[in-house]
Amino acid sequence: MSDLIDRGWNILQQFRFPDEKIFFIGFNKCGTTSLHHLLTRYAIRSAHWDHGRLATSIEALHHDKSALRRYLTRATAYSDIICSTKEQQIEGNRHFRLFHELFPQAYFIFNDRSVENWIRSRCTHHNGTHLARSMAAWNIDANGVKDIWRQTYEIHSIAVLSYFKEHPRFLHFRIDEDPIKLLIDFLSPSFVLREGGWHRLNVTNRP
């Protein structure tokens, strides 16, 4: 019964305040699947990866703010905004400033972890196919891909933490250190989530 009440509250909140989005602006392999399932359990409409279509759609529309805003009305939460193919590599979280411009009442969560553990996790993701696609797209070896990922992480991290410094609707959430209660409390002014709904999913085994 408690879950039904919580879900009902969240459904009502999304109807009443449609511009209160939740953007996870970390990278894939930073708890995005687990976070997506936590939100959907409590009836928060969450758009997650969609086989890269989420990232490619946002990338295609990012020069047309009105069109992108319309596109982003379809869900409340967005995570894993990445597309990795042999032809292109899109890290859609780089558009966080645009998301904030379009939805100033949104919550922004930098889901983060140790950069070296993140790189190792990416390298073994889907039996190494993510790494292989990146090597093909950039025509470089594995070490070159790791260097690009490391640089991308550093640039993005500095930009996010600088842009959202002391912003009341920003949370730097370390999935490898912070309790889920920190995130639940952060979203509690608008949404109800419970610690019992949190489970770690899609965890890549370390080599």
pLDDT at 68 over 60: yes
Q: Is 80 helix (H, G, I), strand (E, B) or coil?
A: coil
Q: Count structural domains, the chain.
A: 1
For residue 201, what pLDDT is reported?
79
State residue 2's pLDDT score. Answer: 84
- Give the angle 181-186-189 at the CA atoms, nearest 5°: 120
Structure tokens at 5: 């009440």
Q: Give the model confidence (pLDDT) of 107-123 as tens digits.
A: 999 999 999 999 999 99
Q: Does residue 104 register a pLDDT over 70?
A: yes
What is this structure's pTM?
0.96
pLDDT at res. 204: 61
Q: What range does the domain containing 34 cover?
A: 2-10+24-197
Question: What values do phi and psi take at 166, rounded to 5?
Answer: 65, 15
Residue 102 lies in a domain: yes
Cα angle 34, 45, 171; round to 5: 55
Residue 30 lies in a domain: yes
Residue percentage of the chain with pLDDT more than 70: 97
Would 178 be classed as within a structural domain? yes
In the structure encoding, which two tokens stand for residue 88, read together? 């292109």
Q: pLDDT tens digit string along 6-39?
A: 999 999 999 999 999 999 999 999 999 999 999 9
Question: Which CATH number covers residue 120?
Answer: 3.40.50.300
Query: Taking the alpha carbons of 147, 52, 73, 189 in that order, is the dihedral positive or negative?
Result: negative
The per-residue pLDDT for 207 is: 43
Helices 142-163 and 115-124 meet at what angle, rounded to 10? 130
What tokens appear for 10 in the block?
């969240």
Residue 203 lies in a domain: no
Q: Give the residue, 205 or 187, on which the prediction is more confident.
A: 187
Q: Report whether pLDDT(59) > 90.
A: yes
User: Is residue 98 assigned to a domain?
Assistant: yes
Would 170 be classed as within a structural domain?
A: yes
